[in-house]
Amino acid sequence: MGQTMRTARRGVSHKHFKLDSGKIRRAQKVLRAKTETETIERALDAVLAEHKRNQLVSEANERFVTSEITIKDVYGKLGK
């Protein structure tokens, strides 16, 4: 049940793009991908994961700001 089976279930569509081959090769090395397709898949996964992390951080920050928590400046550094 290799990669082909997993991909088929997710709904693969064939696309044709004109992409910078140098960027793909560099990304392939960074992502340690074996093929160009795997490189693009991993790059898209990374972008989506980063977006999710940013959402979570933003939500946590919003909860913190609206929590009305009191921060005690024990080192005297926040007022400067």
User: What is the span of the domain harbouring residue 44?
Assistant: 19-66
Q: Determine, yes or no, domain membership for 35.
A: yes
Q: Determine, yes or no, domain membership for 80.
A: no
Higher pLDDT, 27 or 70: 27
Q: Determine, yes or no, domain membership for 12.
A: no
Q: What is the pLDDT of residues 27-66, one digit of tens each?
A: 999 999 999 999 999 999 999 999 999 999 999 999 998 9
Number of separate domains in the chain = 1
Alpha carbon distance 35, 15 (integer Å): 16
Dihedral (CA of 44, 36, 14, 17) sign: positive
Alpha carbon distance 34, 51 (integer Å): 25
Q: Residue 35 belongs to what H/E stretch?
A: none
Dihedral (CA of 70, 74, 76, 80) sign: negative
Q: Determine, yes or no, domain membership for 32.
A: yes
Q: Determine, yes or no, domain membership for 57.
A: yes
Q: Which of the four pLDDT bands, split at 50, 70 and 90, describes residue 3?
A: low
Q: Whole-structure pTM over 0.85, yes or no?
A: no
